[in-house]
Amino acid sequence: MDLTYADYLHVEELLALQKPRSDPAEHDELLFIVVHQAYELWFKLLLHELDKVKADFVAGRTYPAIGTFKRARTIMKVAVEQVDIVETLTPMSFNSFRDRLDKASGFQSSQFREMEFLLGYKRAEMLEHQKPGTASYDQLVKRLNEPSVVDAFYTYLGHHGVAIPEHLAARDRTQPTLPDEAVEEGILRLYKSQPDLEILFELMTDFDEGLQEWRYRHIKLVERTIGSKRGTGGSLGVEFLKRSLFHPVFPDLWAIRHRL
């Protein structure tokens, strides 16, 4: 039998994965499930693309990294636009099925935490909100301990003559990325001398801005939907989310903006 569209994409199985818990079914619960499942698919793709960026950086491949960051930034735009869909839920409509979520919360998304770790925003305490012994927990531990995209970026800069300080090259991989003046000086020199690298650096900044935009939209979504209530699953809600707002994953690219 010839392969069909439905077979290739496993459409039948995919469409069977939306299982509202409200009984009788609340109309808006399906929207909530579909959007969040779509987010998990986008996170999966972003992890796939960012792993490629790491490999491109380590190998010193500029143009493949440019293409991949352009794709990643476009995915982030779609993720931000999906917030518009969720915002069609009023607080009343969300509360009509919110108690069915029990202790489930987007706060527990292991793929989003994995993406943060991969990008260098590492916080070991986030493991406390995952279930030990699961494949997702083990994957997060692996991401926590391995070099991040930023570490690979340091290698890439080294290919272009930037001397990476020893304290960065030998640093504890479980710690978050911090800005460094020596790295910033090297990036500034490349900005002004190599136009193709300027394109890459701007796309990296675009992606970083897109991630920060998604965080902001997510915070406002939660705030308008549940206000100051704690999140589902006992998460800290809006106040916790605000702690990561405007936290760049490529701080050195932002630190030199006023000198360009």
List residues forming the annotated binding site for substrate.
32-36, 98, 232
Annotated binding site for heme: 218
Residues of each annotated binding site: 32-36, 98, 218, 232
- Cβ(74)–Cβ(42) under 8 Å? no
> Is residue 241 within 8 Å of 222, Cβ to Cβ?
yes
Query: Is residue 140 a contact partner of residue 112, using CB atoms and an 8 Å limit?
Result: no
Give the chain as a DSSP string.
----HHHHHTHHHHHT------SSPPTTHHHHHHHHHHHHHHHHHHHHHHHHHHHHHHHT-HHHHHHHHHHHHHHHHHHHHHHHHHTTS-HHHHHTTGGGGTT--GGG-HHHHHHHHHHT---GGGGGGS-TTSHHHHHHHHHHHS--HHHHHHHHHHHTT----HHHHTS-TTSPP---HHHHHHHHHHHHH-HHHHHHHHHHHHHHHHHHHHHHHHHHHHHHHHTTSPPGGG--THHHHHTTTT--SSHHHHHTGGG-
CA distance 210 to 214: 6
